[in-house]
Amino acid sequence: MRCILLVALGFMIAARAPTLHAQSRPGNIEWERGDSPTTPPRPLQPRALENLVAFTRLLGYVRYFHPSSEAARTDWNAFTVSGVRAVEPAATAAELVSALDDLFHPIAPTVRIFEAGHAPAVPAELMPPAGAKDLKLVAWKHHGLGGEDSRSIYVSERIRRKLRAGKIPIDMWDPATPFTADLGGGVACAVPLALYAEGEGTIPKAAGSPTQAAGATPKTYTGDDRSTRLAAVAICWNVMQHFYPYFDVVDTDWPAALDEALTAGAIDKDKRAFHSTLQRMIAKLDDGHGRVSHAGYSANFTLPLLWDWVEGQLVITRVQEAGDVGGLEPGDVVLEIDGQTAGQALAEVEQLISAATDQYRRYRGLRRLAASRESEGVDLAIQDASGRRRTVTLHRTNPFPKLKERKPPVVHEIEPGIIYLDFNRITDIQFTDALAKLEKAKGIVFDFRGYPGNIGFATFFPHIIDGPAESPQWHIPVVRRPDRQAMGFERGGDWNLRPKKPFLNAKKAFIINGRCISYAESCLGIIAHYKLGAIVGSPTAGTNGNVNPFPLPGGYTVMWTGMKVLTQDGARHHGIGILPTVPVARTIAGIRAGRDEFLEKALEIVRGP
Q: Which of 251, 64, 71, 270 is nearest to 157 (CA)?
A: 64
- DSSP track, 387-405: S-EEEEEEE--EESS----
pLDDT of residue 208: 52
Highest mean pLDDT among 141-155, 296-310, 574-588: 574-588
Over residues 578-595, the pLDDT tens digits come to 999 999 999 999 999 999
366 falls in which pLDDT band (50, 70, 90)? very high
Over residues 156-178, the pLDDT tens digits come to 999 999 887 778 888 899 999 99
Over residues 45-83, the pLDDT tens digits come to 999 999 999 999 999 999 999 999 999 999 999 999 999
Computed over every residue of the chain, the mean pLDDT equals 90
Other C-beta atoms lying within 10 Å of the C-beta of residue 407: 16
pLDDT of residue 269: 97
pLDDT of residue 4: 29
219 falls in which pLDDT band (50, 70, 90)? low
Kindly report whether the global pTM for this prediction surpasses the value 0.85. yes
pLDDT of residue 26: 28
Over residues 499-535, the pLDDT tens digits come to 999 999 999 999 999 999 999 999 999 999 999 999 9
Strand pairing partners for 156? 142
14 falls in which pLDDT band (50, 70, 90)? very low
Over residues 368-389, the pLDDT tens digits come to 999 887 777 899 999 999 999 9
Residue 253 has pLDDT above 60, yes or no: yes
pLDDT of residue 40: 93
Residue 217 has pLDDT above 50, yes or no: no
Strand pairing partners for 341? 336
- DSSP track, 229-281: HHHHHHHHHHHHHHH-TTTTTS---HHHHHHHHHHHHHH--SHHHHHHHHHHH
Higher pLDDT, 286 or 26: 286
pLDDT of residue 375: 73
User: How large is the average pLDDT for residues 81-97?
Assistant: 97
pLDDT of residue 3: 35
Phi, psi of 502 (to 5 degrees): -80, 145
Q: List Cβ<8 Å contacts ≥24 apart for 200-204.
A: 200/69, 201/69, 202/67, 202/68, 202/69, 202/138, 203/125, 203/129, 203/132, 204/20, 204/109, 204/110, 204/125
Other C-beta atoms lying within 10 Å of the C-beta of residue 557: 13
Percent pLDDT > 70 in the chain is 91
CA angle 331, 334, 338 (to 5 degrees): 155
pLDDT of residue 530: 98
Edge-to-edge strand list for the sheet holding 179-184: 112-115, 187-191, 179-184
Name all domains of the chain by residue range, CATH numbers in brackets.
46-214 (no CATH), 226-285 (no CATH), 301-399 (2.30.42.10), 411-607 (3.90.226.10)
pLDDT of residue 397: 82
